[in-house]
Each structure stands twice: as C-alpha cells, then as structure tokens.
Structure 1
Amino acid sequence: MTTDKNSADASEIRIPENTFLFEIAWEVCNQVGGIYTVIRSKVPSAIEKWGVENYFLIGPYFEEQAAAHFDPATDFSTPVGKAVLEMQERGFDVHYGQWIVSGRPNVVLFNPFSVYDKLGEIKHFVLQDYHIALPGQDELLDKVAAFGFQVKEFLRFLCGAELCSGHKVIAHFHEWMAGLPIPGIRKENLDIKIVFTTHATLLGRYLAMNDNRFYDHLPFYNWEVEATNFNVKPIVEIERASAHGAHVFTTVSELTGRECTHLLGRTPDMILPNGLNIERFEALHQVQNQHFQFKEKIHDFVMGHFFQSYSFDLDNTLYFFTSGRYEYHNKGYDLTLEALARLNYKMQQANSKMTVVSFFITKQPYYSFNPEVLHSKAMIEDIQRVCEEIKTQVGRRLYTDITATNGTYDFPDLKEMVDDYLRLKLRRNVQTWKSKNLPKIVTHTLIDDSKDQILNFLRTANLVNNEHDKVKVVYHPDFISTSNPLFKMDYNQFVRGCHLGIFPSMYEPWGYTPLECLASGLPSITSNLAGFGDYVSRYIQDHEKQGMFIIDRKSNDFHRAAEELAEIMFRFVGMTRRERIALRYQCEEASLHFDWSNLGEYYDKAYNLAVER
C-alpha cells in the first residue's frame, strides 16, 4: 500500500489512449453524502484530461434528484448513446444526458425500480455466482442489486456489441453500493479494466463507534463474526467481493488502507486522496471582505439569541464550529465538548476579554424550531426595523433643519426629532424582547432531548450559556441553508463567517470539512486519525502556519488529546486580529495543494496500473 508520492511528476503521467473511462457511483446525480462532493468536484479536472467524449459517469435514476441534477440528451450518436438506445429498446429504463455541474459530463442513469420484477432472479444469481445472500425487504439492498444488474448488463452490451471497437474500457467503481457488478464482470471475463475505491469500510465505521481502541484491535477482529453481530454481513460481502475482483483496489487514506487489509482481506494497491475543485471556493483578495460580510450575519443571529439575556463585545467574539454526521464518538464531538469546557476555564483564569461562541451543526430528529428562539429572532428583527424607521426620520429631519438654518448653526437635540410613537414602539419592543432566562443551548425542540449526548454533556459540565462563561454553545441539529430563518445563508457562507473549524475525529476515512474550511480561508483543527489530518501530518511541512492544526489521537488518550485541543484553541483565542487575517490568507493559498489538478494524478496512476494489469 503506497501513496506513490514521489514516483513520477504529474507531467510524466499519460492518460491511456483510445480509452473510455466510466466512473460508477451511487451518488452520481444523487446527493446523499461525501462521495457526491468527491465525484462532482473532480469532474472538471477529469474532463480536461480525458475529454468529454471519453469520460462518462454512471449512477441511479431517481426522478426527484434527476429533476434538479440531470439534463436529458438529444444526441445519441456516440457509442455510449447508441448503447443506451439499444438498452431502451430491450426494455431497460435508462437515461442518457448531462449532469448539471461544472464541466457538464455525460451520464448514464439506471432506474432501479424498473427491474424490480426481476429482483428474485437477480438475487438468485448473486447467491449462485458470488455466494452473497441478499435478504428480502431491505430497501437499500434491493435498489443496489437492481442497479448493479443493469450496470453490468450495460457494460456487457457495450463491450460485446463492438460499439467501442478500438477503445479500451476502464470502469471505476466507488463504494459498495456501486460495486456489485464487479464479480460479474470478472466471471464473464469482459474486456474491462476495473478500479474499485472504498471511501470507508462499513464494518470499520460500526466497530469504531463501539470500540475506543478500534485501531489497536484491528488485527484481531473476525470480520465474519463482527459483520453478523452488526447485521451487515451482505454489505461487507459485497465490499470484499468488489475489493478482490478489482484489477486495482484503492482507498482514500492510509488509515482506511489498514482497515481494508484486516476487514476486507486485501491491502489497497494505491491511496487516492480526496481533492476539491478549489476554483469554486477562490475569493483571492476578497477573503477578508467575504469573512466580514458573513460574520455580520452571524452577529445578527448571536445578538438575537444571546442579547435578550445579556450582552458581550462582538468585536472581541470568535466563532468556532464543528459539523457533520451525528456520530458522537467517531466525529469527535465528545472530545470537542471536553476541550471547550477546558477552554472556558482557561479563558476565565486568564481573565480573557474574548468570548467564543461555538456552533455544533449536525442532524438530529426534531419537532420544530424552538419557539422561544424563533420569537427572540423575530423580536430583534422588529427592533431593527424600528431603529431603521428612526434613522430615516432623524436623517430626514436633521437634513431639513441644517439646510433651513439662517446664520449660526447649533446642533439640535436628536431626541426631539423622533416622534413619541416611534420612541414608545421601540421601548415596548425592547421590554418585550428582554429576558432573565439563559440563552437556549439548542435551537430546535429535539424529539428525545433527554438522551442527546451533546446536551447531556453540556448540562453535566454546566456549560449552559451562563453570563460568566467565556465559551457559549449553540447546538443546531439541522444543516444550514438559505431557507433557514435563523441564519439566512448557506453553509459555505456560514463557514466563511466563522473563525475556526474543529473536527478532531476518532474515525474519519478522509474528512472533507477541514479541507472545505481551508479552501474558504478558514483555519481548522483535525486529528491524525482522520485521513485528511494523517495526510497533512505526513506530507505538509509547517502545516500549523498554514492553518492546519493536527492533534495526536494515535498515541494520546482521550484526556491528553482534549488538553491538546483546548491548548490549540486557547492559543488561537490569544492571536491578534492581524495575525488571524494573515492566517486566513495562508489557508486559502495552502488549499491549492488539494486541488484536483494536483491530486488527480493519483487517479491517473491507478488507471495506468489497471491497463497494465
């Protein structure tokens, strides 16, 4: 297993000639999780190298997703277009067109539901040929089996009908949801070179959630026993069959490579680190301006949320955040909370003039927004509107007074320029808004708040937004979007408005959030048990000077790691504004290392290796 870091310059890597490249993934035109970002962001770089005529994506067809992401084709003259027409004539519900993302790649989408009448037969042959027993009435596995059957049929037809005569075919499958065709392609000896990338092992994710010493215990797990215990054996068998059937087996980080060795029974041939299309994030000299613009929107939320109870100096307030799937242990929420409690103590002991507001952005079941939080937000907006009315009235009357003055001008009493009605309206709004209650920790009414681990820690640690706390916490159990009445901006804008991202994961095959922070000009903290953090600590010198802080979770126990995290945050709080601005620009510059124009070379090497084999 190697990243093959120094074996060849990108300029020496040649794209295989006369070759069609198909990338097959469950998240093509189907936004579910992180693989969607990997595939979508890589498209412009892939098309630049392969050309739109040689590069294709294959995914599932779901009508609602396709309506937003898919543009049907009118020209079916290409070999792939002709193959789609032939498949349609044979009764398959297959769609050909373009994915509406940068680069506009050609895509082929298969409707899994269209072959549900054959599902029993499909599962029978999966068991007979691959020895994988797929259970009945499992919604995801049914869709995966139906999709996999159609993909294999399409590739078999494309290669057998001489439509791609003179062209080699590379099929790159991402994750187990797309991998089921692989053993069938090998069994039928189709002339297709196969690359399979696992972005995380499903069994590894389950084990890490239940074992604090997951990496120490890796060599001693019995995959079959553990997969049966967690009731995921068919999925793990698909993963293993995909890994063993590929000509080139890859994963996204050396950490996940260790999982593959022990849980999938094959060591990856190569590591393919995840990149980003950095051009989408670039703000250049606008980095600080955009930060200021979106920070003002976060200020608006903070004033509405906290200032009804007490106030603090927004000019000396820093916004930290963590986000991602709600995996309390795996995502390091437990460590983040412990470190914030320690940071609160350190700042109080140092009599710091700063305040930290730390946001937890994740997804948990809830009934609705908390009515008190919404009411406070609405009330401060009313106050703001009255202030705007007063400003307009005073401005107009002051201007009239100035221009109508004869002789010596005396500055008037501005209070006299405000109508009694507006004064009374403002006073009533402020009195109605003000509260003696502490600001809410959570912005929503959770369905089961007594069992929520984030809330229970905060209550136990008494980190409940007391006035004397230097660290305040806002727990937002939903993802941020422009339709959100509390923030009124999208997630990327929210990130730009913050000062520091915190992602000290215990289990993270790669981890896009710190990379997205970097591209947005935002420093972040992650751990060396996250693929991104492990890569940075191995290959990027002086990474802290470039806004990439890595805590050691490989050798440190929980409490030492929490102290290290708290100390990094405390040092960040102590930085001057000028130092933070300089670091912001360093972050954006450092992000260029992770552009697909650089990291795409690993994929190119994998494709060449597949052709050689």
Structure 2
Amino acid sequence: MKKERLFPDYIFESSWEVCNKVGGIYAVLSTRAKTLKEKLGDRLIFIGPDCWGEKTCPYFEEDKSLFSEWQVQAAKEGINVKTGRWAIPGSPVAILVDFNAFYPQKDTIYTQLWNKFHVDSLHAYGDYDEASMFAYAAARVVESFYNNVIAKQKPAAKVVYHGNEWMTGLGVLYIHDRLPQVATIFTTHATSIGRSIAGNNKPLYDYLEAYNGDQMADELNMQSKQSIEKQTAAYVDCFTTVSDITARECAELLDKPVDVVLPNGFEDDFVPQGKEFDRKRTAARRRLLDITRALTGDTVSDDAVIISTSGRYEWRNKGIDVFIEAVNRLRLSADQLNKEVVAFIEVPAWVNCPREDLAERLTKMAEGETFDTPLDTPVITHWLNEQQNDRALGMMNWLGMHNAKGEKVKLIFIPCYLTGDDGIVNLSYFDVILGNDLCVYPSYYEPWGYTPLEAVAFKVPCITTDLAGFGLWAHNEAGGHITLDKGVEVIHRTDYNYNEVADDIRDTVIKYANATKQKQGRIRNNARALSQKALWSQFIEYYYEAYDFALNKAEQRAAKTK
C-alpha cells in the first residue's frame, strides 16, 4: 500500500529576491506563490531582505497588524521586521527583515559555521557578507516564529524551510542545527562555480566530469561561495535544482546529487487576451519601428520582422556574442530575405541617460515630421557610461554594423531596464515582448531560462539551445526533438560550435521571415500551446514531491532522537 504523501502545515521560503525584483528568481517565486497560497493561506510565509529602510518598497504592502504580538517578541530578541504582503497575485504573507544589526556578530557567526559545518568564510568578498547576514537574519525570523507561535500548537505542525541560492545557505544550515524538527530544502538555481567557469570562458560541458569544484573555486577565487553552497547541499534534507542539466553540474561540482528537480513554471495571468492583446502588440511594434526609423533616418516597412534577445548582460553565458554574430551573418545574407528584419538587444547595461536627440526626434515624428538622415551612433537608444568600452557596441563596430540606410537588416541596442519609464521606449518588458515576431536566446549557460518561456506565453516563437534547461524540457515535450514549426527551435550548442550556432540562428530567422502569414500564425499558436504545459498547475507536483521528501527526512531524524 502506497504511503500517503506528507504535506507541510507551514512553509517558510527565503530568497534575496522576495519583494526585491533583481532577477529570474523573483519570477519563479512570485508566480508560484498563488498556487501554494491556495493550499496554505497565510501559513505560506516569504522572507526577504529589507533593502528599503524608510523608503517605500514598490513590491511590498506593509500590514503592522499581521502577527503583531510576535513582532513585539521578535524585537525583544533583536530581530526587526516589517510584516505585510507581497504585491503579487495571491498576496502572500511577506516578512522583510533588517539584517544590518547582525554585522557586529559576523565573525562569531562565521566561526560557528566553520565549527559545525566546515564552511570556509575566510575568503569572502563582494556580496558574501551581505547575503550571509540576510540568511542569518531570515533564519532567526523562522526560529523566533516557530518557538513563539508554531511550537504551541497541538498536534505538532509539519514545517518546511526552503532557501533559494547560496545567499540563503547559512540560514538553512542554522535551521538544520537549531530546529532539527523543521524540514529543510535548498534550491540552487545555478551553481556559483559552474556560472563562474562558464563566465570565465572555460569549457564547462566537455570537461565537466574532470573538474573538481573546490579546485576550480581556488583558481577562480570563489572559495567561500563554493563552500557555503556545497555544505548546504550536503546537510539539507532535500537538495534541489531547476533542470536536469544543472543537476548534472551539481553532482560533479558540489559532489552531491540532487534529490528532486524543480522545473520553473509560471502563471500566464499577465498575458493580455483578445482585443487588448492585439492593441498592445500593434502599439509595441509601432514604437520599436519608430525608434528604428528615428535612429537611422531610414524608411522601415510596417511588416518588418522584429526579433530580439534579452536578459542579464552575461556576454557569453546568455549568448549575446553569438546573437550579434548571427544578426551580422543575416545582414550579409539579406538577399535571401523577403522582408526587412529589425533586431534588438534588450539587455541592461551601465546607462548614463536616454538620448535627448532621439527623444526629440520621436516627439516630432509623432507630430507628423519625417527624417531622412541618421542620428549620430544610430545603433543605441541610451548613452552609456564608458561607452567606448561596451562589448556589444565594440563588436557591432568591429563587424561594420552601423545600420546604414538601405540595409535590410538592422540591429539596435536598448541598454536600459524596460520598466515603462526609460525615456525612449516607455513600455514595460512584457509589453515590448508582444511586439516581437521571434525571440532568440542562444544561451551557453542557462540552468532554466525564463525569457524563452515568457516569450512563448505571449505567442512569440523563440530560438534557444540544448544547454538551457527550458530547451531540454521543450525537446522532451516534443518527444526528443523540437523545431520552430512547434513554436521553439532548440539549437545544438557545445563548448566549441559557436559558428554553427550563429549559422543556425541566421537560417532559422530566414525560414521564419519568409514563411507565409498563415504559417507564421500556426507557429505562434503552437508556441502559446507549448507554454501551457509549463504552468504551475503542471509543475507544482515536483514541489509536493520535495516537501514530502524533506518532511520524511525530518521525521526520521526526530525518531532517532527519541
């Protein structure tokens, strides 16, 4: 007879990105929250850093009445928090903790960490101390809440503490030590040493089995991050990651196979429907093409194919280099295209300011004026600090990509965060996606890949690689091989086949651009259909498996101590 699966009465989940929108983990947690909240209500509690102080956090709605008695007790224990709700669908409880008060105890905390878990914090630098003090503060929140609120309940509540990324590792180990009855889960969304190997232009995949994670950490000055990640993985009740490709990386570099793979789902309630979808797509296309016309002084057809790449400015890991190479090869093969192609790099860089000359020209164009001369540097929308050192502009210049008048293929760098108020585009990222015909994410290092998943949710087919977790998942969904006809083209990528990847991207763009409108429509619909298989309603089961795994471990530990 199959044993009934255990499910927690309380889940505490911590991340540097709770109510703090800085990366992809924000999307993972914020979209998953609604599904879990439906099962747990206010017994699902997220813990994030109080980075805002006296300023208002735009992602957090404070409610001082929430757990007010506990807040008073926590303050007596030296734990200062703000309680409220995360301003996302489901409005789950969020606790923001002030971690600055723990800096004076830092050396003592690190010494205890070494004595109990052999975590090496001696080589710490950069964001290690900040992350670790937050991790410690978050764990103290859980400890205080458990002892003052949950421990009084009968029968004893089943509690899970879930930490995301190495930044929460110290706290996960603290809970493991101080509250052994609480089940712990640790998720690495990308190993710090794997990302570093890839980012330092070393071949990660062909040599993965030959790498020693600790040795590479010494070489790349990553000892402390490697140590906290490796030891947390070793001690936690349930060690998880987001894809099979990263699971392999964990086994080799952290010397610990993962217990459960937790693929990243999403909710699609942010995707507009019906007439609103069409209206927003039309507006985004118009804005992107007007920016192109204003920069280049060229006439660009309304039916030009718009393609883009986006994400963090990780030159090799995100494939920004190969995207530029592919667009250049497309430019040199323009005689094979039936339509113009406008490509965008939507990657935040060190922005100085929006271009006044471009903003002024866009305003005049809206009033009916036309221009037939290019602006200076007609390849970028915002001026950068130290622009002469920017890698994307440098590569474009070296390849002779200057968006000359009459060229059928143009490439434009939008180096700002697309928040809707950047001074040029003035549309949010999700509104900009709608205007695309095709998105390209030729990642070299991508444990999952939210950007392609978001693209297909907006009916925008995409190109990715089989070094991305999402790409491998899409392959599997299609029975082992998927092509653009089904909404996603997954290109084979290795440590060394840069040129083949660039050619494959070029050829796929030509194929899509030259397809009939009816075929493009079918491809777009297939992209949307694929995205529906990655909703949290499909993927949440993996989390239930992880909760059961961790709770069983905690029960076994409790039984041994009786």
Give the alignment's TM-score, normalised by structure 2.
Answer: 0.90
Q: Are residue 550 (structure 1) and residue 532 (structure 2) matched?
A: no
Residue 608 of structure 1 aligns with which residue? Answer: 548
- Judge which range, 358-367 or 550-559, deviates more: 550-559
Higher CA-based Rg? 1
Q: CA deviation at 1:543?
A: 5.6
Deviations 1:394-437 (A, max 9, x none): xxxxxxxxxxxxxxxxxxxxxxxxxxxxxxxxxxx65xx54267
Residue 228 of structure 2 aligns with which residue? Answer: 238
Q: Are residue 346 (structure 1) and residue 317 (structure 2) matched?
A: no
Alignment of structure 1 residues 469-508 onto 2, 5 Å: 469-508=407-446
Q: Name which of 302, 318, 322 aligns with 1:314.
A: 302
In structure 2, the gaps of 5 or more residues are 554-562
Matched-pair contact (CA < 8 Å) for 1:288–1:581:
no
Which whole-Å CA distance do the structure 2 matches of 1:604 and 1:558 have between them? 39
1:499–1:85 CA distance, 2 compared to 1 (3 A): same
Q: Name which of 115, 118, 121 aligns with 1:128.
A: 115
Residue 358 of structure 1 aligns with which residue? Answer: 343
Q: Are residue 291 (structure 1) and residue 281 (structure 2) matched?
A: yes
Q: Name which of 30, 33, 56 aligns with 1:43.
A: 33
Which whole-Å CA distance do the structure 2 matches of 1:76 and 1:356 have between them? 53
What is the RMSD computed on CA atoms of the aligned residues?
Answer: 2.5
Which whole-Å CA distance do the structure 2 matches of 1:289 and 1:383 have between them? 20
Alignment of structure 1 residues 257-272 onto 2, 5 Å: 257-272=247-262
Q: Are residue 591 (structure 1) and residue 531 (structure 2) matched?
A: yes
Which whole-Å CA distance do the structure 2 matches of 1:595 and 1:249 have between them? 23
Residue 393 of structure 1 aligns with which residue? Answer: none
Which whole-Å CA distance do the structure 1 matches of 2:204 and 2:57 have between them? 42
- Judge which range, 102-111 or 538-547, deviates more: 538-547
1:115–1:354 CA distance, 2 compared to 1 (3 A): same
Which whole-Å CA distance do the structure 2 matches of 1:545 and 1:383 have between them? 37
Deviations 1:523-568 (A, max 9, x none): 1111010111111112234563331111111487222222211111
What SS does the aligned partner of 2:88 have? coil
Deviations 1:139-160 (A, max 9, x none): 6222223223233333334444
Matched-pair contact (CA < 8 Å) for 1:156–1:190:
no
Which whole-Å CA distance do the structure 2 matches of 1:128 and 1:111 have between them? 26
Letter in 1 for 2:544: D
Which whole-Å CA distance do the structure 2 matches of 1:189 and 1:98 have between them? 26
Letter in 1 for 2:392: I
Q: CA deviation at 1:380?
A: 4.6
Q: Are residue 523 (structure 1) and residue 461 (structure 2) matched?
A: yes
1:462–1:257 CA distance, 2 compared to 1 (3 A): same
Q: Are residue 278 (structure 1) and residue 280 (structure 2) matched?
A: no
What SS does the aligned partner of 1:525 have? strand
Q: Are residue 191 (structure 1) and residue 181 (structure 2) matched?
A: yes
Larger fraction in helix: 1
Residue 406 of structure 1 aligns with which residue? Answer: none
Which whole-Å CA distance do the structure 1 matches of 2:536 and 2:362 have between them? 44
Residue 459 of structure 1 aligns with which residue? Answer: 397
Q: Are residue 206 (structure 1) and residue 188 (structure 2) matched?
A: no
Q: CA deviation at 1:105?
A: 0.7
Q: CA deviation at 1:439?
A: 6.1
1:18–1:515 CA distance, 2 compared to 1 (3 A): closer
What SS does the aligned partner of 1:214 have? coil
Which whole-Å CA distance do the structure 2 matches of 1:589 and 1:285 have between them? 19
Which whole-Å CA distance do the structure 2 matches of 1:597 and 1:482 have between them? 30
Q: CA deviation at 1:130?
A: 2.6
Q: Name which of 241, 244, 255 aligns with 2:245.
A: 255
Which whole-Å CA distance do the structure 2 matches of 1:274 and 1:102 have between them? 17
Q: CA deviation at 1:40?
A: 0.6
Residue 418 of structure 1 aligns with which residue? Answer: none
Alignment of structure 1 residues 385-424 onto 2, 5 Å: 385=367, 387=368
1:187–1:437 CA distance, 2 compared to 1 (3 A): closer
Q: Name which of 93, 101, 117 aligns with 2:88.
A: 101
Q: Give identity over the alignment, percent.
A: 26
Deviations 1:189-248 (A, max 9, x none): 620111111000111111012245211111112222221222221111110111111111
Residue 390 of structure 1 aligns with which residue? Answer: none
How many residue pairs end up in the alignment? 546
Q: Are residue 61 (structure 1) and residue 50 (structure 2) matched?
A: yes
Residue 478 of structure 2 aligns with which residue? Answer: 540
What SS does the aligned partner of 2:207 have? helix
Q: CA deviation at 1:94?
A: 2.1
1:437–1:98 CA distance, 2 compared to 1 (3 A): closer
1:194–1:314 CA distance, 2 compared to 1 (3 A): same
1:518–1:271 CA distance, 2 compared to 1 (3 A): same
What SS does the aligned partner of 1:173 have? strand
What SS does the aligned partner of 1:320 have? strand
What SS does the aligned partner of 1:45 have? helix
Give the alignment's TM-score, normalised by structure 1.
Answer: 0.83
Which whole-Å CA distance do the structure 2 matches of 1:71 and 1:463 have between them? 47
Q: Are residue 577 (structure 1) and residue 562 (structure 2) matched?
A: no
Letter in 2 for 1:182: V
Matched-pair contact (CA < 8 Å) for 1:122–1:145:
no
Letter in 2 for 1:53: D
